[in-house]
Structure 1
Amino acid sequence: MNKYTIGVDIGGTKCSAVLGKGYISDNDLEGFILDKVCFPTEALKGADYTIQRIIRAIQDLMERNLIASEAVVGIGISCGGPLDHKKGVIMNPPNLYGWDNIPIVKIMEDIFHIKTFVQNDANACALAEWKFGAGKGYKNLIFLTCGTGMGAGLILDGKLYNGTNDMAGEVGHIRLEKEGPVGFGKSGSFEGFCSGGGIAQIAKTKVMEQLQVGMKPAFCPELKALDQVSAKTVAMAAEQGDKLAQEIYRISGSYLGMGISILIDILNPEIIILGSIYERSSHLLLPSMNMVLNKEALKSSRDICQIVPAQLGENIGDYAALSVAFGGR
């Protein structure tokens, strides 16, 4: 009998259910995902509504591919934290209004009678890059989300590290300056300087400085356009040679180097993999990042640590959920 896995990626704006093979092949990544169902989360309609949509999506996958529960080795769920992966409970994620102490694993196991696992999205992405992407073959790696927020998934000594109460890897909360852009509820934090939201905050501050002295930045020439400033619009301007936009990414890159230096010194990883913004804009961040890394990190630890962009791109959420289905193995 063929064996399968099912992955569920729960996001604040969209969800997906994915059917994958029940084994991991190093040589057949392209054929690992067999089918997929996507739908908007519609978080304001509540947890029950979205969970029923997830259940129907899984049922659709199984029915149209003629798969019985006995043929599925596991269901993996990737979701923003906080959560308790041991109890299988999702606890009030900020992007999922009303998801308070949802026993998602029990719900799925009671309906499908398939072993189910849940991990926060950063941990799940770390598993995915470790099994399928840039981290294959390594025993000690860090995955940094480097997206809307900044979180980390840690693979240490060949195992996913969750910490005492599933709070390991919350690197976005590290304070890098007394004051600065706000991320993770803390001004001057790693997330404040190096996430998409943080880069937008840096940009808005710099734009306001220029507007108040009569200068008009090309990517935001007037005050009413300030709300449209984002990490993406700044990156596009930087690509076109805008000096202010390039300076904003230089600032973010410097703090990225500082944050990574702390992680290298403490955890001594072989490889650090960065997603999202770094995948698209590494060339804007690298010079200042490396300058700080070479100054701040222990040389013997820095010399053996590669820093690379994630390989799984837009599909990382699908591979992340499927990776969780193997129970973190």
Structure 2
Amino acid sequence: MRRAGGGPRDPLHAARRSRRAGDRPRPARVPPPRRRAHGAALHRPRREDQGAVSYYLTVDIGGTKTACAAGTAAAEILHRREHPTPVAQGPEACLERIARELRHVLREMRGTSPAPEAVGVACGGPLDSRTGTIYSPPNLPGWDGVPVKAFLEERFGLPTFVENDANAGALAEHRFGAGRGKRNLIYLTLGTGIGGGIIIDGRLYRGTTDDAGEIGHTTILPDGPECLCGKRGCLEALVAGPAIQARAQRLAREHPGSLMNGLVTRSGEITPAVALQAAKQRDWAACEVFRETGLYLGIGIANLIQVLNPEVIALGTIAVHARNLLLSPARRSARRHSWPRAWKAVRVVPSKLGERVGDLAALCCALNAGA
């Protein structure tokens, strides 16, 4: 098996060549490796392996950190390694680091379990889940046409499945979390950006071009603040972490007596975490940060309720930490903007998976293969 490093079979090399030719990059077809990948025993489980735990490799790629792990279909994480994502070094360096970390995980698992069944990768979009190619996600500059699936399949000889992190989060919440046993679920990521994953009749809905679930870029306030996408008044521009921070800074200036002014970070910033800390101490201005955020979030939730009529809307990240400081005003707003019958049929809840959602989301990419 050739190593990915610029040779004719290197999927990254093929993507670069395609980009120079002016085409949209497509990952190269990579033949199955003929020998073990870097010392890892990549045989399929045999009968004599009975009793050993079947497992999957998982990769959760974020703009700040990346986690590589081994997990089972029962949501047990057997071994995990986390490292800062070397974004500034480019996608090749990031993928090489992922390959090294996965080899460490394989070494830890060797002797106790058969070879992994597959690799699941969760990453910010946009991406093509069929080819496993990532196209310019905002949190990974320079990742234009990066063939993650082809790279990992060449390195490890395992079927690899790549999914948008919000879609993957929806799969995890549906299988293991607040949507367990439900047919219709929407999962929202509430972090630096806003993403969404949609489960309809028990299956992930991707849409015509793999772009379903871009809930953060639905318009809530036509003349609102400019969003990173170039539009104005997007849900993301009103509710995501940077919007919460801007709102907190404004209210702290307007209310000099606010606890937020005494809880600033060492760099002098009033962050969402500072606002949350003050809100938990009943500071009026800090609570207003989350009331105003919840108002806009509730309008976005109401739009989802009216269009998709789900049973559960699970909110991740910021909502998990803020709980009712954010959820109560969001529910009031959503109820006010929804039809009563649809509102009564839905539960708006924080994610049950908490900090585990990234690992379990990547795991579900592999578990959901072919669905």
Report deviation, 1:137.
0.7
Equivalent residue for 1:195?
240
Equivalent residue for 1:269?
310
TM-score (norm 1): 0.90
- In the alignment, is the contact (CA less than 8 A) between 1:19 and 1:35 conserved in 2? yes
From 107, 132, 136, the counterpart of 1:63: 107
TM-score (norm 2): 0.80
Higher Cα radius of gyration: 2
Cα shift readout 1:240-266 (whole Å, capped 9, x = no counterpart) = 121111111111111111110000000
Give me the whole-angstrom Cα distance separating, in 1, the residues matched to 2:189 and 2:265.
31
Taking the TM superposition and a 5 Å limit, the aligned residue runs for 1:304-315 are 304-315=345-356
Give me the whole-angstrom Cα distance separating, in 2, the residues matched to 1:226 and 1:239.
22
Equivalent residue for 1:75?
119
Report deviation, 1:155.
0.8
- In the alignment, is the contact (CA less than 8 A) between 2:319 and 2:327 conserved in 1? no
Give me the whole-angstrom Cα distance separating, in 1, the residues matched to 2:146 and 2:158.
18
- In the alignment, is the contact (CA less than 8 A) between 1:10 and 1:16 conserved in 2? yes
- In the alignment, is the contact (CA less than 8 A) between 2:182 and 2:202 conserved in 1? yes
Equivalent residue for 1:173?
217
Structure 1, gaps ≥5 residues long: none
1:155 aligns with 2:199: yes
Report deviation, 1:238.
1.1
SS in 2 for 1:311: coil
SS in 2 for 1:118: strand
Report deviation, 1:220.
2.5
Taking the TM superposition and a 5 Å limit, the aligned residue runs for 1:287-326 are 287-326=328-367
1:255 aligns with 2:306: no
From 37, 55, 65, the counterpart of 1:4: 55
- In the alignment, is the contact (CA less than 8 A) between 1:172 and 1:183 conserved in 2? no
Give me the whole-angstrom Cα distance separating, in 2, the residues matched to 1:9 and 1:285.
26
Report deviation, 1:227.
5.8
Equivalent residue for 2:98?
54
> 1:142/1:107 Cα in 2 relative to 1: closer, same or farther (>3 Å)?
same
Amino acid in structure 2 at the alignment position of 1:290: R
Amino acid in structure 2 at the alignment position of 1:82: P
Amino acid in structure 2 at the alignment position of 1:13: T
Taking the TM superposition and a 5 Å limit, the aligned residue runs for 1:206-225 are 206-208=251-253, 210=254, 215-220=256-261
SS in 2 for 1:95: coil
Report deviation, 1:294.
2.2
> 1:49/1:103 Cα in 2 relative to 1: closer, same or farther (>3 Å)?
same
Amino acid in structure 2 at the alignment position of 1:34: L
Higher relative contact order (CA 8 A, sep 6+): 1
Structure 2, gaps ≥5 residues long: 1-48
State, as a whole percentage, how many aligned pairs show the same letter.
Answer: 39
Amino acid in structure 2 at the alignment position of 1:11: G
Greater shift, 198-207 or 259-268, is seen at 198-207
> 1:14/1:221 Cα in 2 relative to 1: closer, same or farther (>3 Å)?
closer
From 216, 222, 228, the counterpart of 2:269: 228
> 1:262/1:61 Cα in 2 relative to 1: closer, same or farther (>3 Å)?
same
SS in 2 for 1:302: helix
Give me the whole-angstrom Cα distance separating, in 2, the residues matched to 1:282 and 1:308.
9
Give me the whole-angstrom Cα distance separating, in 2, the residues matched to 1:193 and 1:299.
25
Amino acid in structure 2 at the alignment position of 1:283: N
Greater shift, 60-69 or 282-291, is seen at 60-69
> 1:181/1:222 Cα in 2 relative to 1: closer, same or farther (>3 Å)?
farther
Give me the whole-angstrom Cα distance separating, in 1, the residues matched to 2:348 and 2:251.
29
Give me the whole-angstrom Cα distance separating, in 2, the residues matched to 1:145 and 1:110.
31
Equivalent residue for 2:166?
122
- In the alignment, is the contact (CA less than 8 A) between 2:264 and 2:270 conserved in 1? no
Cα shift readout 1:97-119 (whole Å, capped 9, x = no counterpart) = 22110111111111211110001
1:17 aligns with 2:90: no
Give me the whole-angstrom Cα distance separating, in 2, the residues matched to 1:192 and 1:225.
26
> 1:239/1:67 Cα in 2 relative to 1: closer, same or farther (>3 Å)?
same
Amino acid in structure 1 at the alignment position of 2:260: F
1:242 aligns with 2:280: no
- In the alignment, is the contact (CA less than 8 A) between 2:69 and 2:79 conserved in 1? yes
Report deviation, 1:145.
0.5
Give me the whole-angstrom Cα distance separating, in 2, the residues matched to 1:39 and 1:172.
28
> 1:67/1:102 Cα in 2 relative to 1: closer, same or farther (>3 Å)?
farther
- In the alignment, is the contact (CA less than 8 A) between 1:69 and 1:113 conserved in 2? no
Give me the whole-angstrom Cα distance separating, in 2, the residues matched to 1:134 and 1:66.
34
